[in-house]
Amino acid sequence: MVDVDEHHPLWGSLTDVPGFRVGHSQRLEDGWLSGVTVVVPPPGTVGAVDVRGGGPGTHETDALDPTTLVPTVDAVVLTGGSAFGLAAAGGVQQWCLEQGLGFAVGPPSDPTSVLVPIVPAAAIFDLGRGGDLSARPDAALGYEAACHVGQTTPRGVIGAGTGALAARTTLKGGIGTASVQLPDGVVVGAVVVLNALGSPLDATTGALLGTAFVPPGRPRPPAPDPAEYAAYREEIAAPAPAANTTLAVVATNAALDPARARRTATAAHDGLARALTPAHTLLDGDTVFVLASGEIEVDLPAVVTIQAAAADAVMLAAMDAVLAATSIDKTPAKGVKAPSYRALFPSTSNTPTPP
């Protein structure tokens, strides 16, 4: 079988980057099919963002502009619920405050007496996919996700990926993760919420689109049996358009200033373009955050290498989300029904081998 155990992803994990933690919370019953994912970096981590989709739902992303006052981030929230779900960030802010995390704005005599946690957020569209349009993340669900942060990155139908779909709602999406190890101890990791209008499948073979770009020596998932893919194509001859959005957080232990972190977020979008067709559409709100903890100083050539690795990590994490997803059937609750990649194409459960 493909190694899709939630604690042993195929291509590594965002939490391979030292000091980073990930937490999820979700609801799947009583009309719910949504959730929240939180990434908590080490204190003092520089943050940046690049929004490329035409329909984003975001919170506090302007604060990450390289020309603004605060260069650091205390947590990043990825949430379901479209713009409504951005309320989850308030719960994460409260959790950060309880942990003593935040930008100090107190008087000169005691700056840390007043803290404002910097918690940018972005949302996917999953409204009503569990059957109840009012079942969407709020501050309480955000707080719960923050309480669950840990040193692993669980994946699949969890957190903000709970209600995620792909390929014009014909395929279950979810949470995926990956990491790239670079020389001198630099690590670049990513977590992706795959909820795309576009398809992650090669239109001719049904293989995962990013397969051709998997770095040498790393496992490549097999293409499905042609008969399985032909049956899928016949079934989805006229898929419906839908609102979507794919989100990513890239983490690294390298030292990047806000401008270089922003440029890394821009480069990381290449990973979405390799893994999905199309990406960055008017009906997607595709957004990539970058978090740089500053543990390892790097020179200019290394920054370029980190930017390339960010694209690879996002691409692999998007592919991982497809492999980790499980089918969902909320038809009895008037919700969505979406098969997973592995359920549609059982032949892809063979163990991947290096090229």
Q: Are 191 and 22 in contact (CB under 8 A)?
A: yes
Query: pLDDT at residue 3 above 50?
Result: no
Q: Report the pLDDT value the prediction gives residue 235, as an integer from 0 to 100.
A: 77
In a domain, 316, yes or no: yes
Q: Are 122 and 285 in contact (CB under 8 A)?
A: yes
Query: pLDDT digits over 122-145, tens only?
Result: 999 999 999 999 999 999 999 999
Query: pLDDT at residue 329 above 90?
Result: no
In a domain, 305, yes or no: yes
**Average pLDDT of the chain, as a whole number:** 92
Q: Report the pLDDT value the prediction gives residue 349, as an integer from 0 to 100.
A: 79
Predicted confidence band of residue 352 (pLDDT cuts 50, 70, 90): low
Q: Report the pLDDT value the prediction gives residue 236, as an integer from 0 to 100.
A: 73
Q: Report the pLDDT value the prediction gives residue 243, as an integer from 0 to 100.
A: 76
Which two structure tokens, joined as six digits, stand for 56? 């984003």
In a domain, 1, yes or no: no
Query: pLDDT at residue 80 above 80?
Result: yes
CA dist list (Å): 262 to 52, 121, 229, 271, 314: 13, 16, 39, 15, 15
In a domain, 319, yes or no: yes
- DSSP assignment of 256-292: --HHHHHHHHHHHHHHHHHHSBS-S-TT---EEEEEE
Predicted confidence band of residue 331 (pLDDT cuts 50, 70, 90): low
Q: Are 203 and 236 in contact (CB under 8 A)?
A: no
Q: Report the pLDDT value the prediction gives residue 241, as an integer from 0 to 100.
A: 64
- DSSP assignment of 38-51: EEEPPTT-EEEEEE
Residue type, 347: S
In a domain, 118, yes or no: yes
- DSSP assignment of 169-236: TTEE-EEEEEEEE-GGG-EEEEEEEE--SSBSB-TTT--BGGGGGSPTTS-BPPPPPHHHHHHHHHHT
Q: In a 10 Å sphere around its CB, with 0-12 CB exposed, 13-18 middle and 19+ buried, how is residue 35 labelled?
A: buried
Which two structure tokens, joined as six digits, stand for 320? 């991982």
Number of domains within the chain: 1
CATH of the domain at 212: 3.60.70.12
Query: pLDDT digits over 218-245, tens only?
Result: 999 999 999 999 998 887 766 666 778 9
Q: Which residues contact 218 (CB under 8 A, 6 or more apart)?
A: 11, 316, 354
Residue-range definition of the domain harbouring residue 198: 14-337
In a domain, 87, yes or no: yes
At 146 the three-state DSSP class reads: helix
Q: Are 95 and 115 in contact (CB under 8 A)?
A: no
Rounded Cα gap, residues 182 and 31, in angstroms: 44
In a domain, 3, yes or no: no
Query: pLDDT at residue 57 above 70?
Result: yes
Q: In a 10 Å sphere around its CB, with 0-12 CB exposed, 13-18 middle and 19+ buried, how is residue 77 labelled?
A: buried
Q: Tokens 């590594």 map to which residue?
A: 12
Query: pLDDT digits over 10-37, tens only?
Result: 899 999 999 999 999 999 999 999 999 9
Rounded Cα gap, residues 265 and 288, in angstroms: 6
Lowest mean per-residue pLDDT among 66-80, 86-100, 241-255, 286-300: 241-255
Q: Report the pLDDT value the prediction gives residue 8, as an integer from 0 to 100.
A: 62
In a domain, 141, yes or no: yes
Q: Report the pLDDT value the prediction gives residue 4, as an integer from 0 to 100.
A: 41
Q: Report the pLDDT value the prediction gives residue 9, as an integer from 0 to 100.
A: 79
CA dist list (Å): 176 to 54, 146, 296, 343: 23, 18, 26, 17
